[in-house]
Amino acid sequence: MVRESKSPHASPTFCVRKPNGKWRMVHAFNKLNAATIPASMPIPRKDVLQNNMAGCTVFSALDMVDGYYQLPMRESDIPLTAVSTPSGMLWEWLVMPQGLSNAPATFNRLVTQLFRPMRQFVQTYFDDIFVHSRASEGKPAVEAHLGHPREVLLCMRENRLYANINKCIFGAEEIPFLGCFLGKDGVRADPE
């Protein structure tokens, strides 16, 4: 994910405590971000995604593991991602690190483009992939749904993208969906 660097660029690195008590490494890419031309990629709208899944009765949800870290950096951009550690070492990222201002747009653009051919039964929101099916052409929804997650997983394999199997749900009547639950009866609030 990183390699030792001799880049003339460097952003500081430090750690912050997460709410669960564990530590997260953070890079202050402020100067790099200030010099970056912003990418224009709209954030998917929750209401549009919900409308696209209306009337569906079978759902699967896939969560991509460490989303940004699955995207290799362009070779010419790698030196720009160099980070200095408190010990004086200099490292550069070979994959897209968190904290770059264009990382969300870049990641979302990739996921949107990859799954666009499946948009009749797939909705994406950054690293979340929602598969939805309804009865069609005389097939019950469950039968129609059987092939949909398979197509998604094959696309992911072909593009070397990986899902966190512990966070995936397959063939359910209801799935967690962006802070609420979405199912055959519509949307309901998360009770927690």
Report domain extents, the chain: 2-182
- Residue 172 amino acid letter: A
pLDDT means per 10 residues, the chain with 192 residues, are: 94 90 91 93 90 93 92 95 91 94 93 95 95 86 90 96 95 93 89 78
- What kind of fold does domain 2-182 have according to CATH? Alpha-Beta Plaits (3.30.70)
pLDDT of residue 25: 85
What is the sign, positive or negative, of the torsion defined by CA atoms of 113, 178, 97, 62?
negative
pLDDT of residue 41: 83
Q: Which residue in 102, 114, 104, 94 sits closest to 67, CA to CA?
A: 104
pLDDT of residue 31: 95
Rg (alpha carbons) of the chain, rounded to whole number: 20
